[in-house]
Amino acid sequence: MTAFPTYDAAAIAALNNQANAILKLFAARGYVREEPAILQPADIFLDRSGEEIRRRTFTLTDPSGRELCLRPDLTIPICRHAVETNAKFPARLCYNGLAFRHQPGEPNRPTQFFQAGAELLGLEDRAAGETEILSLTIEALRACGLSDFSLRIGDLSLFGALVDALALPAQWRSRLKRHFWRAGYVESLLYWLGHGDGAPKLPGTRTEIEALLDRQGDAPAAGRTREEIIARAMDRAAEAAALRLDPGLADAIAKLLDISGPAEESLARIRALLKTAGIALEPQLAAAESRLAALKALGVERMQFTAHFGRNMEYYTGLVFELWARDKEGPVQVAGGGRYDSLMEMLGAGRPVSAIGCAIRTERVLAARAAGGG
């Protein structure tokens, strides 16, 4: 592998053939091709994905001082364009092009790679949308001539629903959801909730907090309203009093996060665990199970469900998935995607828009085929 690859004639032809096969399939399913600019305003990525993405993004400043970047993905420019042009929903959009990522600490990994992907925006029937995108991804890999791959899925909404079912203060629920993907940290939060001795005591009445605020003289509001601060200070004081989770329940959740294995078996274990803990999450479980049935019908044999599988910085909110194959060096992720229901609104859509998409790493698909995965 090299950071700055040069493609020879054979590689270009092979990549183009693959891309054409994928784009032909996308077009047949009603996905319209778009090509966003390679150079993008850095703001849209930093504001949506957070500072972490900067470590992996090539940013530059234009002569007028505006901060630009080489697109680290194509999903955000495509969604932003859909928002700006008031796209009609449901919208089915697709692309094939280069994305650019700095690879910290790995000087020999390519900093640019081809991605072919599809975005399904504004389809209200969530289950149908998820099945559509999962099938599309699997069929696209097959259209490239790759048949030997496995699927890894997770569902952020399952954990979200579980946390919402707990008798915990709102801030703690949001904290648990936010840190869902940090292996180890959520478990330590849960342990603390179940076994700790509660948070420090704070002044909690509105009068006390207002008096405290009035004493701050000329200190700047710094982007937050007085009401915003009072509300959070009161919540924080209230949560200190309410903060206690049945240790059995906390342990059950930690155990649930540990579940990983063949998909059917994993879901059965989650179902059993929730039943014992007395938490009802029937709609979420039923959705996960029917998704599994649909995938089985597509002939995907190797499916893993990992309860703590979610991905940082890539704005996912529900289903997440990765497809894995092998190249000559070992396992390699050839495609991935998921649901990102909050992104369109963050980009200015004015209301939440159901959204789900996938991206295929075509160079890796090529390498996996070359290694005999065809």
Partner 1 sequence: MLTLAIPSKGRLKDNCNAWFAERGVILEQTAGARGYRASIAGLPELDVMLLSAGEIAAALLAGDIHLGITGEDLLREEAPELAGRMHLVKPLGFGFADVVVAVSQYWVDVASMADLDDVCAAYAVRHRRRLRVATKYPQLTRSFFAQARIADYRIVPSAGATEGAPAAGTAEVIVDITTTGATLRDNGLKLLEDGVILKSQAQLAASLTAEWDSEARATARTLLARLDTGAPLYAALAEQLPK
Stretch that binds partner 1, among 20-28, 43-51, 82-90, 244-252 (CB under 8 A): 43-51
Cα gap 147→373, rounded to integer Å: 6
The alpha carbon of residue 232 and the mean position of all alpha carbons in its chain are separated, in whole angstroms, by 27
Please count the residues of this chain forming the interface with partner 1, following the rule CB under 8 A. 36
As measured in angstroms, the least distance from the Cβ of 79 to partner 1 is 14
- Residue 260: CB partners within 8 Å, gap ≥ 6? 266, 304, 305, 306, 307, 308, 309
Q: Check residue 103 for interaction with partner 1 (CB under 8 A).
A: no
Q: Check residue 9 for interaction with partner 1 (CB under 8 A).
A: no
Residues 114, 22: contact at Cβ < 8 Å? no
With CB under 8 A as the contact rule, the residue among 174, 276, 290, 333 that binds partner 1 is 174
What is the footprint of partner 1 within residues 152-171 (CB under 8 A)?
171
Q: Check residue 236 for interaction with partner 1 (CB under 8 A).
A: yes
What is the footprint of partner 1 within residues 191-220 (CB under 8 A)?
209, 212-213, 216-220
Residue with smaller CB distance to partner 1, 254 or 313: 313
What is the footprint of partner 1 within residues 260-299 (CB under 8 A)?
none
Residues 116, 23: contact at Cβ < 8 Å? yes
Type of residue at 237: A
Stretch that binds partner 1, among 94-102, 247-255, 273-281, 342-350 (CB under 8 A): 342-350
As measured in angstroms, the least distance from the Cβ of 157 to partner 1 is 17
Stretch that binds partner 1, among 91-99, 262-270, 321-329, 343-351 (CB under 8 A): 343-351
With CB under 8 A as the contact rule, the residue among 93, 292, 346, 366 that binds partner 1 is 346
Cα gap 91→354, rounded to integer Å: 11
Q: Check residue 127 for interaction with partner 1 (CB under 8 A).
A: no
Cα gap 371→201, rounded to integer Å: 61
Q: Check residue 68 for interaction with partner 1 (CB under 8 A).
A: no
Two tokens at 365? 């698909």
Q: Check residue 249 for interaction with partner 1 (CB under 8 A).
A: no
Question: What x/- string results for residues 312 through 331 when contact with partner 1 is judged by CB under 8 A?
Answer: xx------------------
Q: Check residue 184 for interaction with partner 1 (CB under 8 A).
A: no
Q: Check residue 238 for interaction with partner 1 (CB under 8 A).
A: no
Two tokens at 360? 């295929």
Two tokens at 40? 């993008």
Stretch that binds partner 1, among 150-158, 225-233, 282-290, 362-370 (CB under 8 A): 225-233
Q: Is the Cα dihedral 251, 252, 253, 258 positive or negative? A: positive
Buried-state track 285-318, b at ≥16 Cβ within 10 A, e below 16: bebbeebbebbeeeebeebbbbbbbbeebbbbbb
Residue with smaller CB distance to partner 1, 281 or 343: 343
Residue of 258, 275, 249 whose CA lies nearest to 195: 249
With CB under 8 A as the contact rule, the residue among 25, 91, 151, 233 that binds partner 1 is 233
Q: Check residue 62 for interaction with partner 1 (CB under 8 A).
A: no
With CB under 8 A as the contact rule, the residue among 2, 5, 11, 50 that binds partner 1 is 50
β-sheet with 260-262: strand ranges across: 32-33, 91-100, 112-121, 355-361, 330-339, 319-327, 150-155, 303-306, 260-262
Q: Check residue 242 for interaction with partner 1 (CB under 8 A).
A: no
Residue with smaller CB distance to partner 1, 46 or 254: 46
The neighbouring-strand residues paired with 112 are 100
Q: Check residue 256 for interaction with partner 1 (CB under 8 A).
A: no
Residues 186, 156: contact at Cβ < 8 Å? no
Backbone angles phi, psi at 178, to 5 degrees: -65, -35
The neighbouring-strand residues paired with 356 are 120, 339
Residue with smaller CB distance to partner 1, 122 or 204: 204
Q: Check residue 63 for interaction with partner 1 (CB under 8 A).
A: no
Q: Which residues would be at the binding site for partner 1 (CB under 8 A)?
A: 46-47, 50-52, 54-55, 171, 174-175, 178-179, 182, 185, 209, 212-213, 216-224, 228-229, 232-233, 236, 312-313, 345-346, 348
